[in-house]
């Protein structure tokens, strides 16, 4: 027998349909012959056109998966053809082939345009940067050298002359030579050496003379049979 609600088959002992849960109606009498029972069950079977049969969940999932795979395969196949031609049977019309060729040419043109632009931009940027860097470095070096040379000479001359005069021979020589170049060195060296020498000599002589007499704790001392007096020797 069959369920009159969903059309699923059921045994004679079932009271409810295992698919939809509807109650089952038994119309077969005990005295009915087996052939009549079969005929009656055939007549009781619902017309599927009038009452659609519900699909079970596993069958529905299987059908969905099959349709998905078929659609995916068809999409990949059409994509591999460039998406430019439409299939009618297994043939392409000349117009469709011309359209596909035009689309492919357009795509190739756009791809080539993009690639060429990117390559040209990269190469131009690299060469322009290199040439600009070289030119800027050269111009900056020349300008910096000129300004630095003039400013260094003026500053060096002043610093060299001042340091040479104030610090004497050694500092005047170093600062005058490195900062003042030729003019600062000459002026600082001459003035610093003269003043530093005179001042250093006088101070050193007096200090050294007095130190000797202090060490000897005497106002006189004899050296190589010569007697020296502090009052006359240290002036």
Of the candidate ranges 50-59, 82-91, 207-216, the one whose mean pLDDT is the lowest: 82-91
Q: Is the model more confident about 153 or about 78?
A: 153
pLDDT band of 55, cuts 50, 70, 90: low
pLDDT digits (tens, 9 = 90+) for 121-160: 988 888 888 888 988 888 888 888 888 888 888 888 988 8
- For residue 183, pLDDT over 80 is answered with yes
| Residue reference for tokens 């080539």 | 112
Q: What are 214-218's contacts with CB under 8 Å, separation 24+?
A: none
pLDDT band of 63, cuts 50, 70, 90: confident
pLDDT digits (tens, 9 = 90+) for 184-223: 888 888 888 888 888 888 778 777 877 877 777 777 777 7
pLDDT (0 to 100) of residue 90: 44
Which range, 92-101, 134-143, 167-176, has the best average confidence (pLDDT)? 134-143
pLDDT (0 to 100) of residue 53: 54
Closest-CA residue to 218 (of 205, 206, 233, 203): 233
What is the Cα–Cα distance from 16 to 22, expressed in whole angstroms? Answer: 6
pTM as predicted? 0.19
For 189, the 3-state DSSP assignment is: helix
pLDDT (0 to 100) of residue 88: 43
**233 to each of 169, 197, 214, 222, how far by Cα in Å?**
27, 20, 14, 12
**The two three-digit tokens of residue 114, written as one number:** 């993009």
């Amino acid at each position: 027998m069959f369920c009159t609600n969903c059309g699923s088959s059921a045994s004679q002992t079932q009271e409810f349909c295992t698919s939809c849960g509807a109650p089952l109606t038994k119309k077969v009498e005990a005295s009915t012959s087996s052939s009549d029972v079969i005929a009656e069950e055939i007549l009781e079977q619902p017309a599927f056109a009038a009452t659609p049969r519900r699909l079970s969940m596993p069958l529905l999932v299987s059908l969905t998966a099959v349709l998905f795979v078929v659609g995916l395969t068809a999409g990949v196949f059409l994509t591999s053809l460039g998406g430019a031609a439409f299939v009618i049977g297994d043939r392409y019309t000349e117009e469709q082939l011309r359209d596909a060729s035009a689309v492919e040419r357009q795509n190739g043109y756009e791809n080539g345009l993009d690639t060429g632009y990117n390559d040209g931009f990269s190469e131009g940027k690299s060469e322009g940067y290199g040439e600009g860097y070289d030119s800027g470095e050269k111009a900056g070096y020349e300008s910096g050298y000129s300004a630095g040379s003039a400013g260094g000479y003026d500053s060096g001359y002043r610093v060299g002359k001042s340091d040479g005069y104030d610090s004497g021979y050694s500092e005047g020589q170093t600062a005058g030579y490195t900062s003042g170049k030729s003019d600062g060195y000459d002026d600082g060296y001459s003035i610093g050496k003269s003043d530093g020498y005179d001042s250093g000599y006088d101070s050193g002589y007096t200090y050294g003379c007095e130190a000797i007499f202090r060490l000897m704790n005497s106002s006189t001392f004899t050296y190589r049979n010569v007697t020296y007096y502090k009052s006359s020797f240290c002036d």
